[in-house]
Amino acid sequence: MGWEKVGKRWRVFWHVTLSDGSVDKGSKSFKDKKIALSFKKHCEKREQVLKRAEIIEPVLLDEAVNHWVDFCQGYTETTAKLYISLVQRFMAFLPDTVAYITDLTKFHINCYLNSQMSNVVNKTVNNSMCAIKSLCDYIHENYGIDNPADGIKKLKEDPPEVYFINQEEYEAVLGSCSGVVHPWVLFLANTGLRASEICNLRWRNCDLKQKTLTIVGKGRKRRTIGLNDAAMGVLKQMRDGRKVKPADAVFLTPDGELLTRYVLSGRIAKTCRNAGLSGGGPHALRHFFATQLLLRGIPIIKVSILLGHSTITTTQRHYAHILSDDLTGVTDVLVAG
């Protein structure tokens, strides 16, 4: 590596004699000395590989990312879109010297994650890390190189800020519902579905004879939810006067269009404001569903399964205050010594 006084740049030279007698040589200039040194190390590492006669077909990182994007179609649509957008931001952050998959290191990943920490919450950083790890896992498994994301751990996240509504507020929301919003609110409060799950609900997911719903929710996890009389009444109302097919959506907009999360959230949030609440939306009704079950003595493990949480720890984190309140007076059963 040398300094060019005229062009005021650092130039890196390489010269390697290959096993077949041919010569691989060239040079590349850089304005930044650190980038030049990084490229020099890459050249030295490549030289060692060649000297050991371990000729590895070079794979461009951009090319590997394109293949990974196709692999992402195996995720849910929401996860795939999120991961792809997060990896695109990561790729834009990387220096020009990271051209091949073997150039990407844990240092680059940590630099990117550290750059985010001052601007976003830990949960957002963890989302980026999960997307990058997905890419690195794919590269490791398909190209046989060391995984640069190995050993990178998640940050501790602050408890999520959630909006809970009590029984009185729920009744006020029901009383403020207009037209089609009423069955949406009623169904969410009696099934605990996520907004995306009610929008994607199809008649093939509904077994009216067994009074159950089969949901494929977040992370493609399948769960079965029993339907009470209120939820059954909503489904019968949605089917009344319609010739439905198994693939048809259960819930539609007043115009007969497919219900979207945007429409659902907007209409329910407006209804909550009309009822005098300072917040609220589809997820608040999911929390209402869970808290009412816990307050009525349903074991938290069962509530966790109904909600489709990956672990019971997630349920405990959201509803710790409910469990704490329920412990009041429990020790009264003990006999004093």
Type of residue at 229: D
Catalytic status, residue 40:
no
The string of pLDDT tens digits covering residues 45-78 is 777 766 554 444 678 999 999 999 999 988 878 8
Give the percent of the chain with pLDDT over 70.
90
Burial class (CB in 10 A: 0-12, 13-18, 19+), 30: buried
Per-residue pLDDT band for 117 (boundaries 50, 70, 90) equals confident
The string of pLDDT tens digits covering residues 192-240 is 999 999 999 999 999 999 999 998 877 778 899 999 999 999 999 999 8
Catalytic status, residue 194:
yes
Q: Cα–Cα distance between 268 and 280 in angstroms, integer?
A: 8
Catalytic status, residue 218:
yes
Catalytic status, residue 202:
no
The string of pLDDT tens digits covering residues 242-266 is 888 999 999 998 888 899 988 999 9
Catalytic status, residue 239:
no
Q: Cα–Cα distance between 148 and 133 in angstroms, integer?
A: 9
Which three-class secondary structure state does DSSP give residue 242? Answer: coil
Whether residue 335 is predicted with pLDDT greater than 70 in this model: the reply is: no
Which three-class secondary structure state does DSSP give residue 218? Answer: helix
Token pair in block for residue 7: 């062009």
**Of 46, 287, 309, 318, which residue is the catalytic one?**
309
**Of 83, 138, 170, 319, which residue is the catalytic one?**
319
Cβ(130)–Cβ(124) below 8 Å: no
**Of 9, 41, 218, 223, which residue is the catalytic one?**
218
Catalytic status, residue 262:
no
**Of 194, 267, 287, 318, which residue is the catalytic one?**
194
The string of pLDDT tens digits covering residues 78-111 is 889 999 999 999 999 999 889 999 999 999 999 9
Domains belonging to the chain, first-starting first, are: 2-51 (no CATH), 61-143 (1.10.150), 167-326 (1.10.443.10)
